[in-house]
Amino acid sequence: MTSSVLDLAPVLPVVVLEDAADAVPLARALVAGGLPAIEVTLRTAAALEAIEAIADGVPDAVVGAGTVISVRNVADTVAAGARFLVSPGWTDTLLDAMKASGVPFLPGVSTTSEVVALLERGVTEMKFFPAEAAGGAAYLKALSSPLPQARFCPTGGISPDRAPSYLALPNVGCVGGSWMVPADAVAAKDWARVERLAREAAALRG
């Protein structure tokens, strides 16, 4: 079982797949590039099938589900083989379902009050979203002194140029991004390019 998604790699690829047939070769390219944790977002009809394909076909990958916003999402993705869950935000109902799922989860926060509320519920690992729009690395740096027990995976608008400023922070375990899985590369099935971009991303925390 995954102990902490935040410690698997410096970058968590955020993947949107229109065709589940692309899931296994894409995951293999990411793993080969040094990014074993893969967040497949529930933004497409192919998402559940893609999660199942990666869980079954790429044993070295740690596949998770993103854009988890309902109890049904939790049940469906865990049944498909998701080994972690990521939500853009949270409610008490969603949090209870994620806690009961038996897999690690990163509930989304964008304010200090949301962080404190999660800490009150015993949750210390979170997604900071939308990172750049919500204050960026400067905001997370400001949280590190009063709330050092909270650790984050900031996601949203992060580029390879911006990632190092987040990764240098003591309360950031990894960053989420999609730049290593560009839509044109996936459409062209250019898995060698995905692997190269993944390798560059994996090296961001030297």
120 is catalytic: no
CA separation for the pair 83, 77 (Å, rounded): 9
CA separation for the pair 29, 32 (Å, rounded): 5
141 is catalytic: no
What does R_g of the chain's alpha carbons equal in angstroms?
A: 16
**DSSP string covering 28-78:** HHHHHTT--EEEEETTSTTHHHHHHHHHHH-TT-EEEEES--SHHHHHHHH
Cα 179 off chain centre by: 13
Which of the following is catalytic: 52, 125, 127, 195? 127
Which of the following is catalytic: 18, 39, 114, 189? 39
CA separation for the pair 176, 103 (Å, rounded): 19
What b-and-e string marks burial along 71-98, b requiring 16 or more CB atoms within 10 Å of the CB? bebbebbbebbbbbbbbbebeeebbebb
Annotated catalytic residues are: 39, 127
